[in-house]
Amino acid sequence: MRHAADVYISFPDGSLKRPDISIFCHEPEEEEEAIRLVPEAVVEVISKGFEAKDLEIGREFYLRQAVKDFIVFTPTRSKSCTRAVTIR
């Protein structure tokens, strides 16, 4: 497994996104502008004010792009800090 933090990924639909952490089974080729390999999993760290984007919009987007797992980390919650959503 390989991971990349805060790098741009060019998805099959032409969208350019920058997940907090992307996890790959294979080493992505180094690109000047964006990685073109779809990650196996994406980790998003929720920031105050961006909850809807990361939880609602992000999940649906990654599902359409064939990302297999979407993991959300919420550092502001006192009891439950992580939430994993499998989107297969």
With 90 as the cut, is the pLDDT of residue 11 above it? Answer: yes
- What is the longest distance spanned by two Cα atoms in the chain? 41
Angle, CA 53 vertex, CA 52 and CA 57 arms, to 5°: 100
3-class secondary-structure state, position 63: helix
Show Cβ contacts of residue 53 under 8 Å, excluding neighbours closer than 6 positions.
Answer: none
pLDDT of residue 10: 95
Provide the token pair at 76: 């502001």
pLDDT of residue 38: 95
Q: How far apart are CA 33 and CA 80, in angstroms?
A: 36
Q: Are 38 and 11 a contacting pair, CB within 8 Å?
A: yes
